[in-house]
Structures are given as structure tokens and as C-alpha cells.
């Protein structure tokens, strides 16, 4: 394993905090733009994508708390549809903070269900980081804000969730290819994809 890749809960919570800060800074830059526009290559609007992001982070937290073996949790958390974008970004920070705290406090032998592989705290942190990186990309592309995932964050989640990722490309470009956002030289854009959260 690459020695720069995080291997403990503290490292993953730090990476999750960094991804959250990067995401919020990018989204705040476009807060005054038209969030009713469809997010890049998605059927959702930018505003709906933001809500999906908060829902996902909260859902990963719930899975680590409830630790089901064969189902999703019954708690769903959405952003106030009447709130301003900056206020909703506060909600997103809360969701990310809840996930980070839960990852930090989850014993390393704990496993919880996910349709893309039963996973541990580190895996759910990596899922949260992936959601933050790719959906920030989706929203900022639609809003005309220039932003790509930071390479060190992309490299960490590629190692944890995408074991079959192609080599020879930058981490950010590779993550965007793995998640169906962009092509790579010699590799067309993927139309179907999933990560592998299982513990290896």
C-alpha cells in the first residue's frame, strides 16, 4: 500500500474535513448563481444535488451507527427547501461533521451494510469524500465555477474504493473517469459505475 494513503480513522476524518472545506468554498463561490440549473450530466438540479449530498452524508452516518446487515436505514435528512444556499451549506457542514465524528468513534472491526459492499468507518469516510468531490464538480460545472477535486483527496478514495482504477493518469482525472464524469485518453466516459466499499 502507498504509505501516503491514510490507514486510520484519524487520517480519514482529517481528509473528510479537508474535502468538506474544499466543497463548501467552491459552492459558496457560486451561491448567488442559478441553482435551478441541472447539475452537470445529472437529472437533478444543482439545488437537488446539494440536498442529495446532505442526505448521503447523513445516511452514511446512520449506517455506521445502526450497523444493519442487509438494509438501508429509515432516517432521512433533507435541507430546508426554503433556506438560502449559504444556509444550506451550513447544513451540509453539519452532515459532514456528524459523519466525521462517527467515523472517529467507530471501532475498526465494525462493519455496516452498503449496497456497494459492507464497509468499515474508513470506507464510509471515503464514500463521503467521494460524494463531496464529485457532486461539487457536478454543481460547479453547471454554475460556471472552475473547480476539480484535489489530487490528494482523489488519490485516497481511489485507493480505498476503486481498486481497479486505471494507472498512468492524475488522481483527479482518474476519479472523474471512475465515477462516469469524464473520459480519459483511450478510455471513453463510463455510462455505468460503482465503487467497492468492502474491506480489503
Q: For the segment 87-105, what is each residue's pLDDT rounded down to a tens digit?
A: 999 999 999 999 999 999 9
Query: Which runs of consecutive H residues, i.e. helices, occur in 30-120?
Result: 46-66, 85-105
pLDDT in tens, 137-183: 999 999 999 999 999 999 999 999 999 999 999 999 999 999 999 99
Q: What is the pLDDT of residue 76?
A: 84
Encode 82-91: b = buried (16+ Cβ within 10 Å), e = exposed. eeebeebbeb
- Residue with grid cell 464497509, as numbered in its chain: 119
65 is a domain residue: yes
Position 64 in a domain: yes
Say if CB 23 and CB 133 are below 8 A apart.
yes
Burial of 198 (0-12, 13-18, 19+ CB in 10 A): middle
Q: Is residue 82, in this structure, part of any structural domain at all? A: yes
CATH number at residue 119: 1.20.120.450
Where in the sequence is the domain holding 133, given as residue range(s)? 9-178
- Indicate the number of domains in the chain: 1
Is residue 196 one of the residues assigned to a domain?
Answer: no
**Choice between 143 and 3, residue whose per-residue pLDDT is larger:** 143
H-helix segments, 109-150: 121-143
Specify if 190 maps to a domain.
no
Q: What is the pLDDT of residue 108?
A: 93
Residue 27 falls inside a structural domain: yes
Amino acid at each position: 500500500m502507498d504509505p501516503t494513503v491514510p490507514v486510520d480513522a484519524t487520517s480519514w476524518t482529517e481528509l473528510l474535513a479537508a474535502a468538506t472545506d474544499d466543497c463548501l468554498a467552491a459552492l459558496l463561490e457560486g451561491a448567488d448563481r442559478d441553482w435551478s440549473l441541472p447539475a452537470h450530466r445529472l437529472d437533478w438540479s444543482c439545488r437537488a444535488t446539494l440536498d442529495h449530498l446532505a442526505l448521503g452524508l447523513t445516511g452514511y452516518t446512520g449506517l455506521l451507527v445502526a450497523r444493519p446487515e442487509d438494509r438501508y436505514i429509515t432516517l432521512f435528512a433533507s435541507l430546508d427547501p426554503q433556506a438560502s444556499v449559504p444556509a444550506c451549506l451550513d447544513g451540509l457542514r453539519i452532515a459532514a461533521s456528524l459523519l466525521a465524528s462517527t467515523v472517529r468513534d467507530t471501532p475498526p472491526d465494525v462493519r455496516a451494510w452498503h449496497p456497494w459492499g459492507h464497509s468499515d468507518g474508513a470506507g464510509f469516510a471515503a464514500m463521503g469524500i467521494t460524494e463531496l468531490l464529485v457532486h461539487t464538480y457536478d454543481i460547479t460545472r453547471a454554475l460556471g465555477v472552475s473547480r476539480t477535486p484535489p489530487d490528494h483527496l482523489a488519490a485516497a478514495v481511489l485507493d480505498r474504493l476503486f481498486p481497479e482504477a486505471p494507472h498512468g493518469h492524475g488522481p483527479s482525472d482518474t476519479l472523474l473517469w471512475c465515477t462516469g464524469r469524464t473520459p480519459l485518453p483511450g478510455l471513453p466516459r463510463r455510462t455505468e459505475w460503482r465503487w467497492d466499499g468492502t474491506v480489503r
